[in-house]
Structure 1
Amino acid sequence: MVVASSNPHNKEMQIRRRISNIFNKREEDFPSLKEYNDYLEEVEDMIFKLIEGIDVQAIEEKITNYQQENAEQIMINQARKAEDLAAAMAASKGLPVQADTDGSSQAGFVAGAQGQYAPTVAGGQPRPTGMAPQPVPLAGGLDMHGYALDDEEMMRLQAERGGRAGGWSIELSKKRALEEAFASIWI
C-alpha cells in the first residue's frame, strides 16, 4: 500500500509511521547489536524504496509476509510501546508509574506523587510495583534536626537561621524599610 500525498514530507512521515508500527522490534529482541543494526538498516532501505517508488510491489509483499509471520510479536511490541508512553506521560505529570507486566525497567528516575524522585532498578531486574516509597515522618512531630514542628519559637528561630544562611538579617531589613520610607517623603 503506497500512501499518496501532495506533500513529500507528509508522504514520508506516513510511510515511516506505518513501517515503524509493523517493524517495531527493539535492541533487546536481538542477540547482538550487529543483528539489530542490520535490522534497522533493512527497515530504512524499505522506507527509502517506498518513498522513492522503487520496487514498491516487492516491498509491499515483504511487509505483508512479515506481518503474517510476526503478528503476535508486532502486537506485543505495540503494547510495550503503549505502556512506555503511558509511563512517560504519568511521570511527566508527577503520577506514580505502574510496573511493566514483564518486570522490565525503562526509566532511570520516576517522579513520585509529591515530587520526590524514586530510582527504578535498571538492568532488567524487576522494579517495585505501585507507589514509590515515601519518606517516613520522624516520631513525635520533629523535623529533620530534632526540633518540635509545632513550637512557634522554634519555627521563628529556624526561619531566622535560614534567612541568615542566605545572607539576610533583621538589621538589613529594618534599614531598607527606613530608607524606602524616608525616600518616599521627599518625592
Structure 2
Amino acid sequence: MVVVSATTFNKEIAIRRRISSIFNKREDDFPSLREYNDYLEEVEDMTTNLIEGIDVPAIEVKIAKYQEENAEQIMINRARKAEELAAAMAASKGQPVQTDTDGATSQSSQAGIGAGAPGHYAPTVPGGQPRPTGMAPQPIPVGVGPEGYAADDEEMMKLRAERGGKAGGWSIELSKRRAIEEAFGSIWI
C-alpha cells in the first residue's frame, strides 16, 4: 500500500492546476487526434517530472517559452472554459443560457437538449455527466405523521428499536460480555 502525505498530495494538485491552466488546448485545436494525444502525453510527462523534481529548471524554461508564444491562445481557452462553467452553473440552477453578442447559440441548444423545468437534466458538461437543473418534488410516504415519522403506536416503536439493534448486530448478551471483559481486563495483578 502506498501512503502519500498531505503535503505531497497538495504539491501535486498545485502543479497539475498550474500546468492545466497553461497547457489548456483541446482536441478541436489540433488537426488530428494523434497530434492531440502527443500533446497530452508531453504535458503529462512534464507534469510528472515537475512533481518528481526531475529536470525542473529545463521544464520551467519550456513552460515560460510556451506561455510567451501562446499567450493569446491560453487566454482564449481560459475564457472559453469560464463561459462553459457559467453556462453549466446557469443550467444547473434552471436558468436559461444567454446567447453571445455575435449570435452564437446557447450551450443547451448546441447539445440538442433544452434546460427544461426543475427536476430534468441539463445538457452534459465537459465531465460527461448530466447535471440536475433543480430539485424534483420528492414523493411523500404513506402513513407519515406531521413530524415526518410513521404514525405508529408505542408497541410498534419498541419493536422497531429492538429489530433495528439486532439488524446492526447488537444484542444484550454482546453488551454484557463486553462490559465483563473490560472490567476484568483493567485489573492489574
Alignment TM class, shorter chain as reference: 0.5 to 0.7
> Does 2:112 match 1:111?
no
Tell me how far 1:14 sits from its aligned partner: 0.3
Give the letter aligned to residue 66 of structure 2: Y
Tell me how far 1:93 sits from its aligned partner: 0.4
Distance 2:45 2:122 in 1: 41
Tell me how far 1:37 sits from its aligned partner: 0.5
- Contact kept, 8 Å, 1:95 with 1:113, in 2: the verdict is no
Map 1:18-167; keep pairs closer than 5 Å.
Answer: 18-100=18-100, 103=104, 107-112=111-116
- Contact kept, 8 Å, 2:94 with 2:118, in 1: the verdict is yes
Give the letter aligned to residue 40 of structure 1: L
Tell me how far 1:112 sits from its aligned partner: 4.0
Change (3 A) 1:57 1:108: farther
Tell me how far 1:111 sits from its aligned partner: 1.2
- Contact kept, 8 Å, 1:96 with 1:113, in 2: the verdict is no
Instruction: Give the secondary-structure state (helix, strand or coil) at the position aligned to 1:65.
Output: helix
Instruction: Give the secondary-structure state (helix, strand or coil) at the position aligned to 1:111.
Output: coil
Aligned to 1:11: 11
Distance 1:85 1:25 in 2: 16
- Provide the TM-score with structure 1 as the length reference: 0.55
Give the letter aligned to residue 85 of structure 1: L
Give the letter aligned to residue 111 of structure 1: A
- Provide the TM-score with structure 2 as the length reference: 0.54
Residues 35-93 of structure 1, C-alpha deviations (whole Å, 9 max, x = no match): 00000000000000000000000000000000000000000000000000000000000
- Contact kept, 8 Å, 2:92 with 2:122, in 1: the verdict is no
Tell me how far 1:114 sits from its aligned partner: 6.4
Tell me how far 1:13 sits from its aligned partner: 0.4
Q: Structure 2: any 5+ residue segments left out of the alignment?
A: 124-189
Q: Percent identity?
A: 74
Give the letter aligned to residue 10 of structure 2: N
Give the letter aligned to residue 103 of structure 1: A
Distance 2:82 2:40 in 1: 21
- Contact kept, 8 Å, 2:24 with 2:78, in 1: the verdict is yes
Distance 1:81 1:116 in 2: 24
Instruction: Give the secondary-structure state (helix, strand or coil) at the position aligned to 1:44.
Output: helix
Change (3 A) 1:103 1:34: farther
- Contact kept, 8 Å, 2:24 with 2:77, in 1: the verdict is yes
Distance 1:13 1:63 in 2: 17
